[in-house]
Amino acid sequence: MSEALVLEYVNDPRVYAAQQSFEVSAWANARRQHYRAAVLWTIVLVVGCYAAIRAELVPILFGFGVLLIVHVANAFPYSRIQRRAIEAATKDLPTKHLRLVVDAEGLHETAEGVASFAPWSSVRSFTVFEDVLFIELKARLWALIPRYGLQPASASVEKLLERLRAQGIEERSRSNVA
């Protein structure tokens, strides 16, 4: 194997937000529940509007109409609600300075003075999502390397991708990440 690659980078709230977005399976059930409730409330408000029209109660119709418009404007699309939830959950997370050394043995990461090591046999797959390289390790652990967070003297993410491919690590699309 060639010489070690050294990447120094910063993980900030944008990286954590990308990680949350990446975990699509965690959001699938929430999306389903959200739309079920949104449709139910939409039906209730439409029935309220209909009843107000039939009873010729204009102020009540106006109230239900305003509620319906506000509800629909805030409930759809779910992606906007999801993005707001992710931003709220990640905005106060600390920025971390990391150093990743990739050599013949595997991945050596130092985060805020804490060193960890993952041999190549523990690296399961990798993918790039929202300009962040996700390296999946066994036990559902991840190494997250943002392209935009690299220090100028670091090796490039492209060189790391080449090294991962050379090691025979599976490259996955976001849709087939378990």
The CATH number of the structural domain formed by 5-21+94-176 is 2.30.29
C-alpha pair distances (Å), 110 with each of 6, 8, 169: 11, 9, 22
Residue 177 has pLDDT above 50, yes or no: no
Does this model's pTM top 0.85?
no
Count of beta carbons in the 10 Å neighbourhood of residue 7: 23
Using the CB atoms, write b or e for 29-51: b if 16+ within 10 Å.
eeeeebeeebeeebeebeebbee
DSSP for residue 177: -
* Residue carrying the six token digits 């130092």: 110
* Residue carrying the six token digits 């060639």: 2
Q: Give the model confidence (pLDDT) of 45-74 as tens digits.
A: 999 999 999 999 999 999 999 999 999 888
Q: Give the model confidence (pLDDT) of 113-166 as tens digits.
A: 899 999 999 999 999 988 899 999 998 888 999 988 888 877 788 999 999 999
